[in-house]
Amino acid sequence: MNRIETGEQYIESLRGRNLRIFLWGEPLNEPVDHPLVRPSINAVAETYDLAARDPELASAISPITGKRVNRFLHIAQSPAELVMQGKMQRKMGQNTGTCFQRCVGMDALNAIHSVTFEIDEEHGTDYHKRFLGFLEKMQAENLVIGGAMTDVKGDRSKPPHLQEDPDLHVHVVRRDDKGIFVRGAKAHQTGCINSHWLVIMPTVRLEPEASDYAVIGAIPVEAPGITYIYGRQSSDLRSMESGTMDKGNIRFAGQEALIIFDDVFIPWEHVFMDGEHAFASMLVDRFSCYHRRSYVCKSGVGDVLIGAAATIAAYNGVPLASHIRDKLVEMNHLNETIYGTGIAASYQGFPTKSGAYLPDTMLANVCKHHVTILPYTISRIAQDLAGGLMVTMPSEADLRNPETGDLIRKYLAANPEVDTEDRMKIMRLIENMCLGRNAVNYLTESVHGAGSPQAQRIQMYRQMHLPYRMGLAQRLAGIEDAARPDLSRPVDDIAEYFTRVFRPEGDQNARQ
């Protein structure tokens, strides 16, 4: 494949791949021109065009080749480069108003870089060398990587190896001298059909008995044995309509699919973990750290929604009302809180042994936890400013009908300086982002992407360093003889903490 330089070249690279895709119960032979799929492809294409327009923002110099590469394929080498990832993601959110589908791959590459290095250090394997060879090829051809972490999981009370059906987590079913074969499924995989390669990863911490589930590997999307079942989105049939207004976002959308792997072959050169179960937790934690920080992208989408809310206020004739200004300020305050925590996590990034920089874990989780909540408030305010007409408005077909069009223009007019059709268009965009197709990416994805809210709370608890903080309080309160806990590591278990702090070994009279 020749190197892809532009969005149009990227779109052409997706043709004729003969993927096994099902949409609405029927095979989809060529997704590129399908009106339901094409908006999501357009969003990925913008990642190429942004790099061409603004190389300082959306590209970087690869330490592997010394050449400029798309930032979505780059391994961050400093806090400044982590920050640039966040700034690029916000700009992409502003440009598309939706999910542009490459963050998972970028975050997977960065996590795998450091984890393979440390597996090799402990086990004498050559995963890191294999990974660098793969990454060099991806950078040279400028391809899209889809990250595939989320297994379907089955019974959540059981680990992978104790599931009634072993295929409910992706696992290795056999090995030979050429490579491995994997079976299972990955759920709601962002942009997978729009990718050139998939990288599969474990999704949970693993016990020794689950070593077959400890697998990282790279697979071309058209590999034999892969089936894609396209995911439905709210109001996605709007994309099939002949007009543009009722689509809301007239160019862009996200994409998710269920991926089934039926004994899919991965050659050894593309296997980056095989059985090193103890490193699954490191991979999950590091990927989660990158990806939760990556939700700064929602601040870019929020910028679009704030702009739409301000526009409808002006179109309704009330842009200067004090309560309107106050609501817009609140939307901005919440949106910048998301961005601020994500950028702070990047600024406080630190190096791993491989040289890849990892964001601050606490702040990355705080960023994502804000994202599980604040976009819903931003969306509520936008709907408040739009008014009920946003969800009861006649269709574009009625607007074009000679018998009803003039009536709609007359009775849905507001600000006399604004065309009624423009007022309808901006309300359709707000509907699209708050309730329609792109609400999937702005709202539901904000809750469940990169882990549910409880996943972030668990990680934040682990990073709270309660012994250190309690020591600060005890010293200032004059509690000079307080038992000093071990401050060398985060405390995972509060019961363990209180046992260590308040009942030191050998002190039978310690406080409880």
pLDDT tens digit sequence for 399-433: 999 999 999 999 999 999 999 999 999 999 999 99
Q: What is the chain's Cα-based Rg?
A: 25
Tell me whether strands 215-220 and 171-175 are parallel, antiparallel or unpaired: unpaired
Q: Residue 291 catalytic?
A: yes
Res. 510: pLDDT tops 50: no
- Residue 468 or residue 260, greater confidence: 260
Determine the pLDDT at residue 484: 57
Compute the distance between CA of residue 256 and CA of residue 191 in angstroms, rounded to an integer: 6
Compute the distance between CA of residue 190 and CA of residue 145 in angstroms, rounded to an integer: 11
Query: Choosing from 81, 103, 277, 372, which is the catalytic residue?
Result: 103
Mean pLDDT confidence for 34-46: 98
Determine the pLDDT at residue 465: 87
Confidence bin at 512 (pLDDT 50/70/90): very low
Determine the pLDDT at residue 485: 55
Mean pLDDT confidence for 6-15: 98
State CA 504 to chain mean position distance.
Answer: 44
Confidence bin at 471 (pLDDT 50/70/90): confident
- Residue 252 or residue 469, greater confidence: 252
Under DSSP, the state recorded for 151 is B
From first CA to last CA, the distance across the chain in angstroms is 67
Structure tokens at 166: 């072993």
Mean pLDDT confidence for 94-98: 98
Mean pLDDT confidence for 484-497: 48
Query: Choosing from 46, 99, 113, 228, which is the catalytic residue?
Result: 99
Query: Choosing from 297, 311, 396, 442, which is the catalytic residue?
Result: 297
179-189 tens-digit pLDDT = 999 999 999 99
Compute the distance between CA of residue 308 and CA of residue 386 in angstroms, rounded to an integer: 9
Compute the distance between CA of residue 356 and CA of residue 79 in angstroms, rounded to an integer: 10
Determine the pLDDT at residue 491: 44
DSSP 170-221: -EEEEE-SSEEEEEEEEEEEETSTT-SEEEE---S---GGGGGG-EEEEEET
Confidence bin at 475 (pLDDT 50/70/90): confident
Res. 495: pLDDT tops 80: no
Compute the distance between CA of residue 458 and CA of residue 460 in angstroms, rounded to an integer: 5
Q: Residue 311 catalytic?
A: no
Q: What is the 3-state secondary structure (H, E, C) of 31-80?
A: CCCCCCCHHHHHHHHHHHHHHHHCHHHHEEECCCCCCEEEHHHCCCCCHH
Tell me whether strands 59-61 and 226-230 are parallel, antiparallel or unpaired: unpaired
Res. 94: pLDDT tops 90: yes
Compute the distance between CA of residue 59 and CA of residue 54 in angstroms, rounded to an integer: 8
Helix (H) or strand (E) holding 303: helix 297-315
Structure tokens at 173: 């079913």
Confidence bin at 2 (pLDDT 50/70/90): confident
Looking at the DSSP bridge assignments, the partners of residue 264 are 182
Determine the pLDDT at residue 493: 46
Compute the distance between CA of residue 216 and CA of residue 201 in angstroms, rounded to an integer: 5
What are the DSSP E strand ranges found in 322-419?
350-351, 357-358
Q: Residue 190 catalytic?
A: yes
Query: Choosing from 74, 291, 369, 370, which is the catalytic residue?
Result: 291
Determine the pLDDT at residue 504: 39
Res. 511: pLDDT tops 50: no
Determine the pLDDT at residue 222: 98
Determine the pLDDT at residue 503: 39
Tokens 């990927």, residue located:
287
Yes or no: say if 366 and 460 are a contact pair by the CB < 8 Å rule: yes
Q: Residue 289 catalytic?
A: no
Task: Tell me what the pLDDT averaged over the chain comes to.
Answer: 94
Confidence bin at 482 (pLDDT 50/70/90): low
Tokens 């391994």, residue located:
75
Determine the pLDDT at residue 500: 43
- 294-460 CATH pick, 3.40.640.10, 3.20.20.80, 3.40.50.1860, 1.20.140.10: 1.20.140.10
List the domain boundaries for the chain: 7-287, 294-460, 464-502
Q: Residue 434 catalytic?
A: no
Res. 496: pLDDT tops 90: no
Mean pLDDT confidence for 209-219: 98
Q: In what order do the strands lie in the sheet with 171-175?
A: 26-27, 21-23, 226-230, 256-267, 179-190, 171-175
Q: Residue 99 catalytic?
A: yes
Confidence bin at 466 (pLDDT 50/70/90): confident
307-335 tens-digit pLDDT = 999 999 999 999 989 999 999 999 999 99
Residues contacting 188, CB < 8 A, separation 6+: 150, 231, 256, 257, 258
335-385 tens-digit pLDDT = 999 999 999 999 999 999 999 999 999 999 999 999 999 999 999 999 999
Sign of the CA dihedral running 361, 366, 371, 373: positive
Compute the distance between CA of residue 96 and CA of residue 47 in angstroms, rounded to an integer: 10
Compute the distance between CA of residue 74 and CA of residue 199 in angstroms, rounded to an integer: 15
Residues contacting 464, CB < 8 A, separation 6+: 362, 490, 491
Q: Provide, rounded to the nearest whole percent, the portion of the chain with pLDDT above 90.
A: 89
Mean pLDDT confidence for 257-269: 98
CATH of domain 7-287: 2.40.110.10
How wide is the angle at C-alpha 433 spanned by C-alphas 429 and 434, nearest 5°?
115
Query: Choosing from 47, 98, 116, 190, which is the catalytic residue?
Result: 190
Confidence bin at 509 (pLDDT 50/70/90): very low
